Amino acid sequence: MSLRVLVGVKRVIDYAVKIRVRPDKLGVVTDGVKHSMNPFDEIAIEEAVRLKEKKIAKEVVAVSCGPTQAQETIRTALAMGADRGIHVEIPAKEVEKLEPLHVAKIMAKLVEQEKADLVVLGKQAIDDDSNATAQMTASILDWPQATFASKIEKTDGELQVTREVDGGLETIKVKLPAVVSADLRLNEPRYATLPNIMKAKKKKIAKMKAADLGVDTTSHFEVLEVADPPVREAGIKVEDVDTLITKLKETGRI
Amino acid sequence: MRLRVCEGQGEVGHDVNIVVRKVIQDGGLEVGLRLYVLPGRCVALGWCGAVVVVRVVAQRWCSSASPRITTHYSVVPRETDARWADVDMERYEDEADVVVVGGGPAGLSAAIRLMQRAQQEERELRVMVVEKAADIGGHILSGACLEPRALEELFPDWQERGAPLNTPVTKDVFSFLTEKGRLNIPILPGMPMHNHGNYIVRMGHVVRWLGEQAEELGVEVYPGTPASEVLYRSDGSVAGVATGDVGIAKDGSPKDAFARGMELRAKCTVFAEGCHGHLAKQLYTKFNLRENCEPQTYGIGLKELWEVAPENHKPGTIEHTVGWPLDRFTYGGSFLYHLAEDQPLVSLGFVIGLDYTNPYLSPFQEFQRFKTHPSVAAVLRGGTRISYGARALNEGGLQCIPKLTFPGGCLVGCSPGFMNVPKIKGTHNAMKSAMLAADSIFDQLTDEKNAEAEWVEPVSYETTLRDSWVWKELHAVRNVRPSFHSPLGLYGGLLYTGLFYVLGRGKEPWTLKHGVRDAERLKPASEANPIAYPKPDGEVSFDLLSSVALTGTNHDHDQPPHLTLRNDSVPVERNHGIFDGPEGRFCPAGVYEYVPLESGDGVRLQINAQNCIHCKTCDIKCPSQNINWVVPEAGGGPAYDGM
């Protein structure tokens, strides 16, 4: 059984960069800021490529919904081993308004078009921390979902997935086709080395718009304000336990 | 004749005595040989007409008590490391006509010029640029006031092409600072800091634009690709570079994801690494390029970008100061430029000559202190600091320019060093040098004589450089910087500049020397006075770690520290013992820390390699010259935006 795997990759602000709130307080500064592939998506691509190396998958398609520069993110995925890419172009001004529901609808449409058997996504994006796209995609497709995967094994037409949950680890079986979301410990992604980057230049990236897929990207909600977290106040040292109790009473903690 | 080699013991980088026994029939002859030990490599020496090859088989540490800090393979060779015995070390190879190391103003100008010539003369040319930053412009840091002279030659239509030169200079101010006061010194045309016709730019954005122009012309630009090794042919010529290996763990062992770098071979390799490049360092030794010039002298430049209150913003204004907070024997000064961009931005910074003598001096703290001066704080108050960074810069001028070409390659830009110190500008000279080198390389490559040649050496580059405006300019200012070394310090320097540069235009027949190298200038801590720096006020001055966070710097933590030490025991014994650990003060990113040992007595050096912002100051200023900066794994380093 040879699967065609669709993997979503998102271009996000690099995790090491210090975020700044925009002067209009409706978002963060993204112009000129260093971006890279969402770390969980790197893990997703790595897992899909490993499935291909184990001959469980026959093709890995990397998908990104984003501005023109999202092509660089797709190129990185291609350099890691994906076979071809699909870039759903979103105008720069609308990128931050794109919601998990829109992406899920886009992914569902692409699954139909590409006749994919497996969708692997990162569990969440490090900019919005939504943790919703995989679940919504599965729901729209009416496919089983295996989220927060830390191990994936294939058993006859089914996937055995170990999930990281609050209480520990949960192992479930899901029938294919399915949607999986990758968690941190699933694998350690390979580096996109220069020879592979050079080879990736020859791989194809198809371009399209959300409207071409019949997906409406109108926002469902409006951002009212984005603000920095409050500055941490300095603490004080107290002399003894009695003073501590007094202080705690003063501030209404006890 | 039989040869028997007996074992010798030595340290990397030093001579070792080895006894070789030459057995001649029934007799024997013992001869002592002095050989230079390189890490893990065979050393050859001619002896009695025969070549003796000695292989370093094991590296033993000086004492079992010495700390193990450095695990990088440039110091601990993998050929002798059991953990690497089964690893496939084959590398992919690719070939281009020219490989350029470094995607800064010089590197990109060289690549662009080559493709322009190729287009003009309708020839195919494959030019590759490798740059260690994840994005072009990501490691660029400069004031900057750009003299557009070289850009005009490269792209006469730079304005139509949208080059981000948005702020023409409208006002020039030069002042002498005292602790609370400020004395303006009038600037007349002819003085080095007269900036009419120049532009205040965000150099990172200019470089990003140059990168786009290069790609449009067909240059292959590879960011996130550090060049870690120079490749040589058997005839000793430079064959190209190898990109860095990835996937090595902190202890020096191979990880599962280990992947070898790639070999990029070319007929000519252009080294444009910027100030104090790590590969250039190796080339100086290999080809003896510095035998007829003085050792380079440097400065460290720290810089911040501020969004200021609109009432404090005067776009097009350039301000330079000397004096406070530095004493008259420490060379340095500040810059403050008002940019005309979408937001009210001010670019300000501080440069300190690395020939300073007090080991207690902290360039970062001097910069923070400078911002508290009433005239400076007035501009910054109510504003927000949005970026911070630092980089070493070359100050040696004409006296320190090495031989620029060698078989298979050449050096361009701030790497050999063409900065005009009194003007505080080097980019225009860097670009021009690269363009001249490119012309020379192209002529050589297309010369029929070289059709079958494996490599070319752009020898005419040195000649055309000496005939160009770059050389005229550097010749005129050659004595300004060294004039600060007299007992009159700053005042002597200003006097000399006034007399001989402004009035005499640098025509005096003598050339002053710089003298002792920067690394040898530090006084022992016992002879120096600690400096009490004020605490950061959180409004205009800040602490080191929050500043480092603004650089966006990051490196994968699980890799050998790229700040390698030649000898792991020297820091505590010498740097700390004699100089009280100056690297903890001159590093603008808090990489070096002397932490107390758990046992209570003594300290150890902790290297926070992740903080490194690739400024190269430690490699320059370490008083024991024990620190060797090498390039870290792909994509690491600061994430500057338009710095």
pLDDT, tens digit, 9 for 90 and up, residues B24-35: 333 444 444 444
Whether B618 sits among the annotated catalytic residues: the reply is yes
Give every CB contact of residue B463 below 8 A, 6+ residues apart in sequence.
none
Q: Is B550 part of the contact surface with chain A (CB cutoff 8 Å)?
A: yes
Q: Are B432 and B153 in contact (CB under 8 A)?
A: yes
* pLDDT at residue B50 is higher than 60: no
Q: Is B612 among the catalytic positions?
A: yes
Which residue from B243, B262, B386 is facing A20, i.e. has the nearest CB? B386
Site from A193, A228, A231 to mutate, B interface, most B CB atoms within 10 angstroms:
A193
The residues pairing with B47 across neighbouring beta strands, listed in sequence order, are B50
pLDDT in the model for residue B233: 96
- A254 close contact with B: CB closer than 8 A: no
A46: nearest CA in chain B? B257
What does the buried/exposed string (b/e) look like for B140-166 if buried means 16 or more CB atoms within 10 Å of the residue's CB?
A: bbbbbbbbbbbbeebbeebeeeebbbe
Taking CA–CA distances from B637, the nearest residue in chain A reads A16
B90 touching A (Cβ < 8 Å): no
Q: Nearest-CA distance from B242 to chain A in Å?
A: 11
Q: How many CB atoms lie within 10 A of CB A18?
A: 16
Q: Under an 8 A CB cutoff, do A195 and B262 touch? A: yes
- DSSP, collapsed to helix, strand or coil, labels residue A229 as coil
B261, A194: Cβ pair inside 8 Å? yes
Residue B583, pLDDT above cutoff 70: yes
- Are A189 and B261 a contacting pair at CB < 8 A? no
Q: What pLDDT, on a 0 to 100 scale, did the predictor assign at position B30?
A: 43
> Minimal Cα distance from A32: which residue of B?
B641
For the stretch B554-577, pLDDT in tens is 999 999 999 999 999 999 999 999
Q: Looking at beta carbons, which residues of chain B come within 8 Å of A197?
A: 222
Instruction: Indicate the pLDDT class of residue B61, thresholds 50, 70 and 90.
Output: very low
Q: How far is B230 from chain A (nearest CA, A)?
A: 17
- Is A14 close to B554, i.e. CB distance below 8 A? yes
Q: What's this model's pTM, rounded to 2 decimal places?
A: 0.88
A177: cis peptide before it, omega within 30°? yes
Catalytic, B91? Answer no
| Residues B431 and B150 sit within 8 Å (Cβ to Cβ) | yes
The stretch B323-343 carries a mean pLDDT of: 92
Q: Which residues of B touch A15 (CB under 8 A)?
A: 554
Q: Tell me how far apart the alpha carbons of residues B79 and B92 are, in angstroms, rounded to a whole number.
A: 19
Optimal mutation site among B262, B308, B386, B547, interface A, most CBs of chain A within 10 A: B262
Nearest to A193 among B94, B246, B553 (CB): B246
Local confidence band at B203 (pLDDT 50, 70, 90 cut-offs) = very high
Q: Name the β-bridge partners of A66.
A: A89
Query: A133 CB near a chain B CB, below 8 Å?
Result: no
Please give, rounded to a whole number of angstroms, the shortest distance from the CA of B280 to a CA of chain A: 23
Residues of B in contact with A33 (CB under 8 A): 639, 641
Chain A hits for B549, CB-CB cut-off 8 Å, are 18
The pLDDT tens digits for B351-377 are: 999 999 999 999 999 999 999 999 999
Whether residue B545 lies within 8 A of chain A, CB to CB, comes out as: no
Q: What's the DSSP call for residue B477?
A: T
Determine whether the interchain pair B94/A16 forms a contact, defined as Cβ–Cβ distance below 8 Å.
Answer: no
A145 contacts A205 by C-beta, under 8 angstroms:
no
Mutation site for B-interface testing, chosen from A15, A34, A72, A188 by largest number of B Cβ within 10 Å: A34
What is the pLDDT confidence band of residue B483, given thresholds at 50, 70 and 90?
A: confident
Separation of alpha carbons B164 and B156, rounded Å: 14
Q: What is the mean pLDDT of each run of 10 residues along chain A (254 residues)?
A: 92 93 92 94 97 95 97 97 97 93 97 96 96 97 97 92 96 96 95 94 95 94 92 86 91 84
pLDDT for position B16: 52
- Partner residue facing A193 (CB), from B256, B259, B554: B259
Catalytic residue flag (residue B414) = no
Q: What is the mean pLDDT of residues B233-252?
A: 95
User: Is the pLDDT confidence value at B310 over 60?
Assistant: yes
Determine how many CB atoms are found less than 10 A away from the CB of residue B529.
Answer: 9
Q: Give the pLDDT of residue B474.
A: 94
* CB contact residues (below 8 A), chain A span 34-63, against chain B: 34, 36
- Would you say residue B51 has pLDDT above 70? no
**Closest CA relative to residue B210, chosen from B142, B167, B155:** B155
What are the tens digits of pLDDT across the range B534-553? 999 999 999 999 999 999 99
Write down the pLDDT at residue B23.
Answer: 41
Average the pLDDT over each of B21-30, B142-151, B183-192, B604-613 and give the range with the smallest value: B21-30
DSSP structure class, residue B311: G
Residues of B in contact with A19 (CB under 8 A): none
pLDDT at B489: 79
Confidence of residue B18 (pLDDT cuts 50, 70, 90): low
Catalytic residue among B145, B414, B587, B622: B587
**pLDDT value, residue B311:** 95
- Cα(A104)–Cα(A117) distance, rounded to whole angstroms? 16
CB contact at 8 A, B345 and B307: yes
Nearest CA in chain B to A29: B386
**Is the model's pLDDT at B273 over the cut of 80?**
yes
Interface of B with A in 249-288 (CB under 8 A): 255-257, 259, 261-262
Q: How far apart are CA B452 and CA B546, in angstroms?
A: 56
Instruction: For B343, name the nearest residue in chain A, comparing CA atoms only.
Output: A23
Catalytic residue selected from B109, B142, B330, B433: B142
- Per-residue tokens: B498: 């006034």
Residues of A in Cβ contact (< 8 Å) with B241: none
pLDDT at position B405 over 50: yes
How many Å is the Cα radius of gyration of chain B? 25
> Which of B558, B641, B643 has the highest number of chain A CBs within 10 A, making it the mutation to test binding with A?
B641
Q: How close B164 comes to chain A (CA, Å)? A: 13
Task: With a cut of 70, say whether residue B38 has pLDDT above it.
Answer: no
Cα separation, B124 vs B110, in Å, equals 16
Kindly identify which residue of chain B lies nearest to residue A72, measuring between CA atoms: B135
**How many Å lie between the alpha carbon of A231 and the closest alpha carbon of chain B?**
12
pLDDT of B54 above 70 = no
A198 touches chain B (CB under 8 A): yes
Element (H or E) spanning B215, and its range? Answer: helix B203-216
> Which band of pLDDT confidence, cut at 50, 70 and 90, is reported for residue B165?
very high
The DSSP secondary-structure symbol of A177 reads: S
Annotated active-site residue B293? The verdict is: no
Inter-chain contact A16–B259, Cβ cutoff 8 Å? no
Distance between CA B28 and CA B20 in Å, rounded?
10
Count residue pairs from A and B with Cβ separation < 8 A: 54
Least confident of B1-10, B252-261, B624-633: B1-10
Let me know: does B274 contact B431? Beta carbons within 8 Å.
no
Contact A16 B246 (CB under 8 A): no
Is residue A74 within 8 Å of residue A87, measured between CB atoms? yes
Q: Which residues of B touch A188 (CB under 8 A)?
A: 255-257
**Distance between A11 CA and the closest CA of chain B, angstroms:** 14
B245, B185 contact by CB (below 8 A): no
Instruction: Please report which confidence band the pLDDT of residue B509 belongs to, taking 50, 70 and 90 as the band edges.
Output: confident
| Rounded Cα–Cα distance for residues A90 and A27 (Å) | 17
Task: Tell me which chain B residues have a C-beta less than 8 angstroms from the C-beta of A193.
Answer: 246, 259, 261-262
B641: contact with A, CB 8 A cutoff: yes
More confident residue, B192 or B331: B331
pLDDT at residue B484, as a whole number: 82
